[in-house]
Amino acid sequence: MIDKNRWYWCTTCKEPCITFFCCKNSSCNGGGCDKCKEESDEVDRMFENNEVPRKEDIPHTKEQLRNFHRNELKKIGYSDEEIDERFKKADELDRILRGES
């Protein structure tokens, strides 16, 4: 089961979504990579079984979630610059996948 604190409401897709730690891809947008395949399968399974949190139960905005990720990444030794770089890449990827490149 995926930690309920990781879900945020995607305002683009209008659905609950998580960001994978390894690649920073969003479950609603491009899915995971090879490393987080297990987790991304779990997301699919939760959607199929209606186990994803409801909108009202998701307190996290994307901004709050990024702060959460930033803290987690810092714990494993990433610098602010590296984290910013990753977020920038994730944003670029988001735009490309939405066709806004």
Residues that bind Zn ion in the complex, under the rule CB under 5 A: 10, 12-13, 20, 22-23, 28-29, 32-33, 35-36
Q: Which is nearer to Zn ion, 10 or 90 (CB)?
A: 10
CB of 75 to Zn ion, least distance (A): 18
CB of 20 to Zn ion, least distance (A): 4
CB of 12 to Zn ion, least distance (A): 4
DSSP result, 2-41: --GGG-EEETTTTEEE-B-TTT--BTTBB---STTHHHHH
Q: Which is nearer to Zn ion, 22 or 96 (CB)?
A: 22
| Residue at token pair 């987080």 | 36
- The rounded distance, in Å, linking the Cα atoms of 96 and 87 is 14
Q: Which is nearer to Zn ion, 4 or 98 (CB)?
A: 98
* CA count, 13 A, side-chain hemisphere, 32: 17
